[in-house]
Structure 1
Amino acid sequence: MVCLSPVGPARGRIRCCEDTLGRHHTRRWNPTSPELQFPELLLRASMPLPPPRPRRIILVRHGQSEGNVDEGAYTRVPDPRIGLTIRGWEEAEACGRRIRQLVSTGCDDWKVYFYVSPYRRTLETLRGLGKAFESERIAGVREEPRIREQDFGNFQDREKMRVEKEIRRRYGRFFYRFPNGESAADVYDRITGFRETLRADIDIGRFQPPGLRSPNMNIVLVSHGLTLRVFLMRWYKWTVEQFEGLNNFDNGGMLVMQTGEGGRYSLLVHHTEEELQAFGLTEDMLKDQLWQKTAKPGELNYNFMRNGQSFFTHFL
């Protein structure tokens, strides 16, 4: 509470509520003070600094699964119960070692926090990854159903599965919905909800242990090929056409979104242009990643018409 007491004909003295606690505090009354015109400035100044953003968001596709080597496995075993092959376990463990080397280089206070799809092959991949880390390096793990595999329907007929995938190829991977299943557009909708949860977790520092503010936290998403491509599409606001041009991750492969100079996540901090072109990024997408590499969170790229040329053909 703030009280005004008259001092002279034109000025007042501000008496703060703590005056009643013993010490008398005064300051000059200035009706043009920004803090009085915009009280939210006082609130902002009193708020603690936001927690540091995680250094990286690392996207990992599960290791080789039984369904990757034999599509007939889906006719015998429900998709969520398809497990890893021996090679898949080896890929998961090798990926864990690569992640550890990446996040531990040049720092001592690093940790990892995992989000994992509830499917058997991703849970097994997580266990393989985890062999590279001591318990004190793992800040937490959360099973997240929204990053599960695209639902292909209840396939029991192998020939019907082959026909449906051929129809999808001609129809378009993003919009085609499998009978009793999902399209990539459906996956996009649930990934949108997950992205908002992830951003909220980043903003409030959910990954930071109590009392710590380490800038060397790393998030690892253990998921599936199409789901991870849709996640990138949603995060970077890529178009359907740009999504259709992306290639799948290798089994046990990873893609790294790392903070650049300004604090935004860019694929170009860790990866080369050649690597991203092989993944399917176009020249416009690479230009945007270059901007992301130096921009700050909340900034807009006013010097680049985001995907505009593909919409307004009269500019061509």
Structure 2
Amino acid sequence: MINSSETEQQKFLPKRIILVRHGESAGNLDGAAYTTTPDYKIPLTPDGIAQANLAGTQIRDVISDSGKLRNWKVCFYVSPYERTRSTLREIGKSFPRKRVIGVREECRIREQDFGNFQITERMKIIKETRERFGRFFYRFPEGESAADVFDRVSSFLESLWRDIDSRFQHDPADDLNIIIVSHGLAARVFLMKWFKWTVEQFEYLNNFNNCEFRVMQLGDGGEYSLAVHHSEEEMQQWGLSPEMIADQKCRANSPRGGFIEKCQWYLDGFFDHVDPDDSEDGENEDNTDDKTVS
């Protein structure tokens, strides 16, 4: 049975957390842009602006069930880079001001730092080295590794939970939706941290397309899952393994309290050599040391 305090807490959990990658930027179109323009100043292309505008319409349709629902609100977090800020401006055109309870610029969800101006030929060699070394742990000279991004995104998540607990002032009858406008790597790392994916699983993930978004939605048991809104085919295309997809389905469908008992915790990755029927020392009833001699 759920007590009243649990019920009240459940009401205040956001119904969805939506991760959005920025629209097409000048750097996506031509990597040479990074040689003369700082990464954080790279603008959207005209196509990127159109993508962001369309994404706003699509996200609003998800949140409002294509206009059928009236009791919903949104809160935005955005990377301080020009391309993400511009993406949010276009997305925001789909949301009336009264629906928006807050917007926060958040530096910890910025793009991975690649090391100031990027010389094209040098970056080509560096990225080839990254493929040999491993995408998660390779640190760009004068920049960051994906592991560094993981650390700051983890810090952001702690702040996000504090905001959810105490700072979002809204009618509990309204569905709250958090929309995070960020970058491909930061968004993938966010999912990795949230769902406790391993480094190996991260390495197989495909990047978001420009203005593509992922919807984490509360399942029946109060766990967030990609499988509530997205199909198995979509998750396969993103690079999720069968085990990861099964975990998402479990999060979506397990009753309250059943997630920990029924869902995978990747034990076979570390304990596949252990016989599950092995008893602990002293538990074998046939142990001769426990027998009395008559």
Shorter-chain TM-score bucket reads 0.7 to 0.9
**What is the identity, as a one-letter code, of the residue corresponding to 1:208?**
Q
- Tell me the amino acid that sits aligned with residue 169 of structure 2: Q
Of 108, 115, 121, the residue aligned with 1:159 is 121
The answer to whether the aligner puts 1:208 opposite 2:173 as a matched pair is no
Aligned-residue identity in percent: 54
In the other structure, the counterpart of 1:258 is 217
TM-aligned CA deviation for residue 52 of structure 1: 2.1
- Provide the residue aligned with 1:28 in structure 2: none
The residue identity in structure 1 corresponding to 2:27 is: G
Query: After superposition, what is the alpha-carbon deviation per residue over 1:112-154, rounded to whole angstroms, capped at 9, x for unaligned?
Result: 1000000000000000101111111111100000000000012
Q: Report the Cα offset of residue 312 of structure 1.
A: 2.7
Task: Note the alpha carbon deviations across 1:210-230, whole angstroms, 9 max, x for none.
Answer: xx2134110000000000000
Q: Which amino acid aligns with 1:77?
A: T
Q: Is the CA contact (8 Å cut-off) linking 1:247 and 1:280 kept in structure 2?
A: yes
Report if the CA contact (8 A) 2:60-2:94 is conserved: yes
Residues 79-158 of structure 1: pairs in structure 2 closer than 5 A: 79-105=39-65, 106-158=68-120
SS of 1:302's equivalent in the other structure is: helix
Q: CA deviation at 1:300?
A: 5.2
Distance 2:220 2:101 in 1: 25
What's the TM-score once normalised by structure 2's chain length? Answer: 0.87
Query: Which protein is bigger by CA-based radius of gyration?
Result: 1
**2: CA distance, partners of 1:138 / 1:256:** 18
The count of corresponding residues between Structure 1 and Structure 2 is 270
Provide structure 1 residue ranges, at least 5 long, that are not aligned to the other structure.
Answer: 1-43
Structure 2: gaps of 5 or more residues: 276-294
Closer, same or farther in 2 for the Cα pair 1:298/1:219, shift >3 Å? farther
Q: Distance in 1 between matches of 2:227 and 2:19?
A: 14
Contact 1:155/1:161 (CA < 8 Å) preserved in 2? Answer: no
Question: Where in structure 2 are the equivalents of 1:60-79 lying within 5 Å?
Answer: 60-79=20-39
Question: Distance in 2 between the 1:48 and 1:98 partners?
Answer: 31
| Alignment TM-score, normalising by the size of structure 1 | 0.81
Partner residue in 1 for 2:286: none
Q: CA RMSD in A?
A: 2.0
Separation in 1 of the partners of 2:57 and 2:12?
A: 25
Q: Pick closer, same or farther for the CA change 1:49–1:300 going to 2, 3 Å.
A: same
Secondary structure at 1:227 match in 2: helix
The 3 A distance-change label for structure 1 pair 53 and 304 is closer
State the distance in 1 between where 2:7 and 2:205 align.
Answer: 41
Distance 2:256 2:162 in 1: 14
Whole-Å separation in 1 of the counterparts to 2:222 and 2:63: 17
Cα-to-partner distance string for 1:56-103 (whole Å, 9 max, x where unaligned): 000000000000011000001000000100000000000000011111
For residue 226 of structure 1, what is the aligned residue in structure 2? Answer: 185
- Conserved? CA contact 2:247–2:264, under 8 Å: no
Q: Which has the higher contact order (CA 8 A, sep 6+)?
A: 2
1:236 aligns with 2:195: yes
8 Å CA contact 2:221, 2:259 repeated in 1:
no
Deviations 1:276-304 (A, max 9, x none): 01001111111111111134677652344
Query: How far off its partner does 1:198 sit?
Result: 1.2
Q: Of 256, 265, 274, which aligns to 1:306?
A: 265
